[in-house]
A = this chain, B = another copy of it.
Amino acid sequence: MARTLDDLARLSGVSRATVSRVINGGPVSEQTRLKVLEVLESHQYRPNLAARSLASGRTGVIGVVMHVDPPLLFEDPYFATLLHGLSDVLSERAAGMMLWLGNRSKEETLSRILGMGLLDGVVVTADMLDDPLVDGLLVSPLPTVLIGHRRTDRDASYVDVDNVNAAETMTRHLIDIGRTRIGHITGRRGTVAAEDRLRGYLNAMHRAGLSTEGLIAEGDFNRPSGAECAIQLMDAGADAIFASNDATAAGALETLRARGLIVPDDVALAGFDDLPFASELDPPLTTIRQGVHGQGSEAARALLELLESPRTPRRVLFPTELVIRQSTIGGSLR
């Protein structure tokens, strides 16, 4: 079985260099090209990536870093969806992807990625305001695309959604339906998403001249925190709750139901993400839809383009969509 370029060269009666040119598209006469191609097909030749990398510096392998807590990884289809979007694009235009999850410290993960040596580039989820992994990748020579970004990442390549704007839109929606004591359950403080959504909420409230005093409860993106924060907001007399994601909203819903409150009559409820379960809640949840799959595939495309022209950063801001369901505008039949 022919395994190396040399083998094929011998079989084709040409030099190794010529075979290489056939494969990589150099100047070859049509006659020899066909001849070589035939030998090539019939022997199922696969170029050795390691050798190719050593000689050319490129491997077609890109790294994907999703340094998140395991619970988040399982509970939230976000990451699987993202992975799928990335994989869709990479699988047709690159040789493969390497994956790093959050099992080791960020510092160690960074060091391993940089030491890998055979990556063409990296896509990394940047969800924290302060993240040595992201910072390290950005200053490294490795072409990097962020999914989510911080204000300090303006020069970097990234794919993101406009959390501030989306949160403003949602808050305005709650104002539009006549609510005035609108509470917000934040996400985990220190994350970009939490801070930006909080900012959007504050923007809309202040612009409408509404007070937010006592109406901000600190959650952590998880369901239980939603339930707790809802108690706090109810005690503050809220007539609407904007939770920073769907999971927290689901938690809040438990509390409201336990108190015998009707959604949305007594309290309007809204989330963020539009995960599959959002439409199956009772009542179905008003929320913000963000195209997670699209973000993944777009990040992959951005990276591939970045590899072509390394000096031109790519920045993609994804649109979001306000999805109105019965948890805010439901006509209950009472």
Contacts and interface: CB of A to CB of B under 8 A. Distances in A.
B114 A46 contact: yes
A170 to B, nearest CB: 24
A47 B117 contact: yes
B83 A104 contact: no
Given A98-B99, A103-B88, A50 B47 contact: no
Interface stretch (A89-97, A147-155, A302-310): A89-97
Contact of A77 (B74, B88, B111): B74
A45 to B, nearest CB: 9
A112 B84 contact: no
A215 B157 CA distance: 57
A53 B54 CA distance: 10
A87 B73 CA distance: 12
A15 B73 CA distance: 46
Contact of A84 (B64, B96, B101, B116): B101
A23 to B, nearest CB: 12
Contact of A73 (B49, B54, B84, B114): B84
Contacts of A80: 73-74, 79-80
A118 interface: yes
A75 interface: yes
A260 interface: no
Interface string A45-63: 0111111011000010100
A276 interface: yes
Contacts of A112: 95-96
Nearest to A59: B50
A203 interface: no
A243 to B, nearest CB: 19
A223 to B, nearest CB: 10
Nearest to A55: B50
Contacts of A51: 50, 54, 117
Nearest to A113: B96
Contacts of A99: 64, 83, 87, 96-99
Contact of A47 (B59, B75, B115): B115
B91 A104 contact: yes
A33 to B, nearest CB: 21
Nearest to A53: B50
Contacts of A318: none
Which of A51, A91, A96 has the most B CB atoms < 10 Å from its CB?
A: A96
A103 B116 contact: no
Given A70-B84, A91-B100, A96-B112, 7 more contacts: A50-B59, A50-B117, A75-B77, A83-B99, A84-B103, A88-B103, A96-B100
Interface of A: 46-51, 53-54, 59, 61, 64, 70, 73-75, 77, 79-81, 83-84, 87-88, 91-92, 95-101, 103-104, 111-112, 114-118, 276
26 contacts: A46-B111, A46-B115, A48-B54, A49-B116, A50-B50, A50-B59, A51-B54, A51-B117, A73-B80, A73-B83, A74-B77, A74-B276, A79-B80, A80-B80, A83-B99, A83-B101, A87-B100, A87-B103, A91-B101, A91-B103, A91-B104, A95-B112, A95-B116, A96-B98, A97-B99, A98-B99
